């Protein structure tokens, strides 16, 4: 049985989410969000993972009492749910409210290699 992109990329996304959780446990909220951004870049072509990461970003914003980020994440979560299945995601976008939800961004080479591996097996 052929594994889907979501199944192939999930271990890499989950590793970033584990790093994010660890950063939270040591009280480093900025580092926590950095790992959420990395998870976003990796998982944004999977509707399930894309929405999951935005919900975690929303939880982060709520914990940190950042109104602009809360509003941005609500909008981005709905957008991820609606546009990801259509393939309309700006690749490389880090997913925070500090960037346009439509902006395509350069992908860190390390993350690009993981995405390529998940897509092609190479």
Alpha helices in 44-106 (DSSP H): 47-63, 67-83
Widest Cα–Cα separation across the chain: 45
Q: What is the pLDDT along the chain (122 residues), one digit of tens a residue?
A: 789 999 999 999 999 999 999 999 999 999 999 999 999 999 999 999 999 999 999 999 999 999 999 999 999 999 999 999 999 999 999 999 999 999 999 999 999 999 999 999 88
Q: What is the pTM (predicted TM-score) of this model?
A: 0.97
Domains in the chain: boundaries: 5-120
The CA-atom distances, in angstroms, between 101 and each of 13, 17, 33 are 20, 21, 16
Instruction: State how far the Cα of 73 lies from the Cα of 43, in Å rounded to an integer.
Output: 16
């Amino acid at each position: 049985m052929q594994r889907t992109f979501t199944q192939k990329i999930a271990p890499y996304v989950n590793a970033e989410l584990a790093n994010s959780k660890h950063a939270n446990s040591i009280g480093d909220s900025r580092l926590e969000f950095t790992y959420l951004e990395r998870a976003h870049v990796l998982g944004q072509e999977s509707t399930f993972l894309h929405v999951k990461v935005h919900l975690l970003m929303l939880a982060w914003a709520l914990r940190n009492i950042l109104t602009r980020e809360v509003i941005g994440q609500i909008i981005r979560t709905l957008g991820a749910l609606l546009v990801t299945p259509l393939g309309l995601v700006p690749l490389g976008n880090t997913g925070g409210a500090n960037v346009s939800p439509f902006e395509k961004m350069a992908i860190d080479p390390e993350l690009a290699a993981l995405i390529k591996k998940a897509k092609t097996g190479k």
